[in-house]
Amino acid sequence: MIQHPSVPIIKNEKLSKDLFKIVFRSKDLASGLRPGNFVHIRVSPEMDPLFRRAMSIYSCENDTFSVLFRAIGKGTGLLSKMREGDTVDILGPLGNSFDPPDKDETVILVAGGTGVPPLHFLAQWLLSNYGFDGQQILFLCGISSADDLPLSEAVEHLDIRMRTSSDDGSVGFKGYVSELLKTEALPYDIKKLRLYTCGPVPMLREVTKICAEQGIRCQVSLEGHMPCGIGTCLGCVVQSTRGEDEFDRICMEGPVFDSNEVLI
Amino acid sequence: MSKFDLTVEIGGVKFRNPIMTASGTFGYGEEFNEYIDLSKLGGIVTKSVTLNPRPGHKPPRTCETAGGMLNAIGLANVGVDRFITEKIPFLQTLDTNVVVNVAGFSIEEYVTVIDKLNDCDGIAMLEINISCPNVGADGLEFSGSPESAHKLTSELQKISRFPLIIKLSPNVTDIASIAKACEDAGADALSMINTLVGMGVNHNTFEPLLTNVTGGLSGPAIKPVALACVHKVYRSVKIPIIGIGGIMDHFDVAQFIIAGAAAVQFGTANFINPSCTVDAVDGLKNYLRDIDIQCIKELTGKLKV
């Protein structure tokens, strides 16, 4: 069953003034979720906000899973105020998942801001389910300033290699994470490199451009205006590289795409 | 529960209950098959089918509004030929009435599409979209005057082997005169309302929220407008009315039927709760028990004014 009408919240952790991590308990969901999948959460039984909120997955363990998000509007604001014991209606798992890398490849994960969660889940999955060594995984985490340090801290517990950049230089490398990528990717044999990225559109454009120039295989996880999440409303489309009149639904054909499949 | 009679008849077609899905919110049925038992519905209405495939507008195509949404999908669909080869076989397996929604940019286009559909089994009725607000200058505005609505309806009535539902737009001066013109031209039923023209503006970027600039407003925000249209048209025509506009649950269904509808369609609600329609079928039975009415047909037009 994809519709889960009453999923309990077991923890809501405020990480900063607007960043929250919520842990849900659902064995069905937790056992079915794969890195890249998303859930569609009804944040209120009322009519405003009307639509569900699509959330990528930060982590998945046994019978629980968690999301990490920024409260920026009415819907995420309501979700951020929920407490342990509250229940929500969730559709999921939805969407496709990342293609796994080969075992002998190096994986670079490039996250910008709240693009961290799905790549954190992917890193966890590669370590626990694919037998990857932590040294094979490099996580590049771009944040705007020290205010968003909890985003980078949310990855630091993993036994992988990690670099953080901040736009204002208050944390780590000063500059965009795409700049950091240019130097960090240099030492690797491109044929044995896989890159996965999620974050704001300008960052994705820059990262996918670098990958195209250097011939690095890259998958992007996208978000879009997503009323239904199940492929019917055709609202969340992205233009395909197949042609000007070709669109893919982010909720069904995505949210994960090969970077050369879509025009971001 | 079975003592309550939810059946309705529209254009000679029997419906198990008055609850259907609205065009453009239910794909071609397949998408919802894993969420709900489609045989519990009175009928499903497909996404608009046009002569040629249409990719739709560039994104963003939707945005949320207070109690509703704007959409300008642009009639994205696979075109009638692929509809017949790829979608009809699934629809034929369904134990519910399949209503195929047809859109066109000229009378000839509607005629060609219907000619092709005439050869298909598994279709109960056609719903004619004469009023999509999102394709603007391209045409599709046969709902603008009683004369144009009459002409299109009578031409299609001549050639269709299926009963016709004409879907009306609220974006007109007098919906009742257009409804009457469709009835006079031989329409079997009317469905109303299509979406209301609306737009959103981003005050930071000065850009519209939709690439198409304007879109169609749907959802609970438009329910009062839809109810008023149904009420007005019910007093002007004798053919059955299918109410559409912001219906979220069985109480909304009851309100539309009391205002004059014989049946209803759930639209935007499908995006929020995929099981809203089947939930409403159950809710409607409880409602009839509570108000001590056996037969849903008795409720149509029982507004006390």
Q: Which of B221, B191, B228 is nearest to B20 (CA)?
A: B191
Question: What is the per-residue pLDDT across B69-104, written as a single tens digit (0 to 9) for each?
Answer: 999 999 999 999 999 999 999 999 999 999 999 999
> Residue B166 CA to chain centroid, in angstroms?
9
Confidence of residue B1 (pLDDT cuts 50, 70, 90): very low
Hey, are the CB atoms on B31 and A247 less than 8 Å from each other?
no
Q: Report the residue of B33, B271, B275, B278 to disrupt the A interface, i.e. the one with the largest count of A CBs within 10 Å.
A: B271
Q: From the CA of A49, how many Å to the nearest CA of chain B?
A: 7
Average pLDDT over chain A reads 96
Residues in chain B closer than 8 A to A228 (CB atoms): 270-271
pLDDT at residue A110 is higher than 80: yes
Q: From the list A42, A228, A237, which residue is nearest B59 (CB)?
A: A237
Hey, are the CB atoms on A50 and B68 less than 8 Å from each other?
yes
Q: From the list B27, B31, B219, which residue is nearest A50 (CB)?
A: B219
Amino acid identity at B106: S
Confidence of residue A15 (pLDDT cuts 50, 70, 90): very high
pLDDT at A187: 83
pLDDT at residue A1 is higher than 80: no
Hey, are the CB atoms on B27 and A51 less than 8 Å from each other?
no
pLDDT at residue B139 is higher than 50: no
Asked if A171 reaches chain B (Cβ–Cβ under 8 Å), the answer is no
Residues in chain B closer than 8 A to A247 (CB atoms): 55-56, 59, 76
Regarding beta strands A217-221 and A256-258, do their DSSP bridges make them parallel or antiparallel, or are they unpaired? antiparallel
Regarding beta strands B97-103 and B68-71, do their DSSP bridges make them parallel or antiparallel, or are they unpaired? unpaired
Cross-strand partners of A162: A139
pLDDT at residue A119 is higher than 50: yes
pLDDT at A210: 95
Tokens 């999921």 sit at which residue?
A92
Confidence of residue B143 (pLDDT cuts 50, 70, 90): confident
Average pLDDT over chain B reads 94
pLDDT at B133: 60
- Domain B8-299: assigned CATH number: 3.20.20.70
Q: Taking chain A, what is the end-to-end CA distance rounded to the nearest angstrom?
A: 32
Residues in chain A closer than 8 A to B26 (CB atoms): 232
pLDDT at residue B136 is higher than 70: no
Question: What is the per-residue pLDDT across B170-217, written as a single tens digit (0 to 9) for each?
Answer: 999 999 999 999 999 999 999 999 999 999 999 999 999 999 999 999
pLDDT at B34: 85
Residues in chain B closer than 8 A to A2 (CB atoms): 34-35
pLDDT at B70: 97
Two tokens, residue B89? 């076989």
For residue A197, what are the CA distances in angstroms to A142, A206, B139, B158? 11, 11, 42, 57
Question: What is the Cα–Cα distance from A53 to A231, expressed in whole angstroms?
Answer: 15
Hey, are the CB atoms on A42 and B272 less than 8 Å from each other?
yes
pLDDT at residue B140 is higher than 60: no
pLDDT at B195: 96
Q: From the CA of B66, how many Å to the nearest CA of chain A?
A: 6
Work out the average pLDDT over B101-118: 95
Locate the chain B residue with the closest alpha carbon to A48. Answer: B67
Cross-strand partners of A59: A66
Amino acid identity at A96: N
Tokens 């089994």 sit at which residue?
B121
Please give the biggest Cα pair distance in chain B.
58
Every domain of chain B and the residues it spans: 8-299
Q: Report the residue of B35, B45, B61 to disrupt the A interface, i.e. the one with the largest count of A CBs within 10 Å.
A: B61
Instruction: Quote the crossing angle between the two packed helices B250-259 and B276-291, to the nearest 10°.
Output: 60
Question: What is the per-residue pLDDT across B49-68, written as a single tens digit (0 to 9) for each?
Answer: 999 999 999 999 999 999 99
pLDDT at residue B138 is higher than 70: no
Q: From the CA of B28, how many Å to the nearest CA of chain A?
A: 8
Tokens 């609205």 sit at which residue?
B22
pLDDT at A190: 87
Residues in chain B closer than 8 A to A235 (CB atoms): 59-62, 71, 73
Hey, are the CB atoms on A47 and B60 less than 8 Å from each other?
no
Q: Catalytic residue positions of B? A: 132
Question: What is the per-residue pLDDT across A142-182, written as a single tens digit (0 to 9) for each?
Answer: 999 999 999 999 999 999 999 999 999 999 999 999 999 99
Work out the average pLDDT over B135-139: 48
Hey, are the CB atoms on A50 and B220 less than 8 Å from each other?
yes
- Element containing residue A171 per DSSP (H, E): none
Q: From the list A47, A227, A238, which residue is nearest B271 (CB)?
A: A227
Residues in chain A closer than 8 A to B32 (CB atoms): 230, 232
* % of chain A exceeding 90 in pLDDT: 93
> Do B41 and B16 form a contact (C-beta atoms < 8 A)?
yes
Work out the average pLDDT over B242-271: 98
**Interface predicted TM-score (ipTM) of this complex, two decimals:** 0.92
User: Count of CB atoms within 10 A of residue B52's CB?
Assistant: 12
User: Count of CB atoms within 10 A of residue B123's CB?
Assistant: 18
Hey, are the CB atoms on B61 and A234 less than 8 Å from each other?
yes
Q: If contacts are CB pairs under 8 Å, which of residues 122-141 in chain A contact chain B?
A: none
Q: From the list B58, B67, B270, which residue is nearest A239 (CB)?
A: B58
Q: Report the residue of A43, A230, A233, A244 to disrupt the B interface, i.e. the one with the largest count of B CBs within 10 Å.
A: A233
Q: From the CA of A72, how many Å to the nearest CA of chain B?
A: 15
Confidence of residue B2 (pLDDT cuts 50, 70, 90): low
State the alpha helices, DSSP H only, in A4-90.
Answer: 27-32, 74-80
φ, ψ of residue A112 to 5 degrees: the values are -120, 125
Asked if A47 reaches chain B (Cβ–Cβ under 8 Å), the answer is yes
Question: What is the Cα–Cα distance from B185 to B69, expressed in whole angstroms?
Answer: 33
Higher local confidence (pLDDT), B108 or A188: B108
pLDDT at B137: 43
* % of chain A exceeding 70 in pLDDT: 100
DSSP state of A115: G
HSE value, Cβ hemisphere, 13 Å, CA-based, for A174: 3
Q: From the CA of B2, how many Å to the nearest CA of chain A?
A: 27
Hey, are the CB atoms on B73 and A49 less than 8 Å from each other?
no
Residues in chain B closer than 8 A to A89 (CB atoms): 273
